[in-house]
Structure 1
Amino acid sequence: MIDIDPNGTGLPGIDQLRVIVGAVMTVGLILAVLALIIAAIVWGFGANSSNPHLASRGKSGVLIACGAAIICGAAVTLTNFFWNVGQAI
């Protein structure tokens, strides 16, 4: 029987890599908020100017930005969930 677990101290630079990944997650969330604001402005402009194509693109942008924020926020939880599922096989 083989029993291997993740080793948080096995390689040099693991702590710095965790800091970098956390910073990338923060940047991703900031960009998702910026995309949400821009898409909401496009949606509002399209709705007020009677341009259904522009309004539709704004709606899509809002949904995509919300999805990106959900994925960035849940990345660690999703990874841990699938790690545990994989360990149960």
Structure 2
Amino acid sequence: MNLSQLPLPVVRPDFGAVGGTSELNAVVGALLTYGLIVAVLMVIVCATVWAFGSAQGSWQAASRGKTGLLVALAGAVLTGGALAWANWLIDLGAGL
């Protein structure tokens, strides 16, 4: 028997088996809200450490504050972008 003559199985995801996208949106939104709050608080703390370290002549504190500020800003940007990405994925999944 030739293998090319066998019917190919059709494998597709069952999107009806997974429900609750509204609950998923609520959970993702709540987690991202907490993440943004923490990122903004870290921006404030690190900017303060950088300012005080520079004013007091402590280059170690100023350097750590500057690094922390850049990491906190990157975290805030990634957390803010994650909401748009999650919404896009949910809309994409609903359209399949």
The bucket for the TM-score relative to the shorter chain is: 0.7 to 0.9
Task: Pick closer, same or farther for the CA change 1:76–1:3 going to 2, 3 Å.
Answer: farther
Q: Tell me if 1:73 matches 2:77.
A: no
Aligned to 2:55: 48
Task: Pick closer, same or farther for the CA change 1:3–1:11 going to 2, 3 Å.
Answer: closer
Alignment gaps of 5+ in structure 2: 1-9
Match of 1:30 among 29, 37, 56: 37
TM-score by length of structure 1 reads 0.73
Question: SS of the residue aligned with 2:17?
Answer: coil
Alignment gaps of 5+ in structure 1: 85-89
1:7-47 per-residue CA deviation (whole Å, 9 max, x = no partner) reads 3x633443212201110001101100000000000000100
How many residues were matched structurally?
80
Q: Identity of counterpart residues, as a percentage?
A: 36
1:25-83 per-residue CA deviation (whole Å, 9 max, x = no partner) reads 011011000000000000001000000000000000110000001110112445658xx
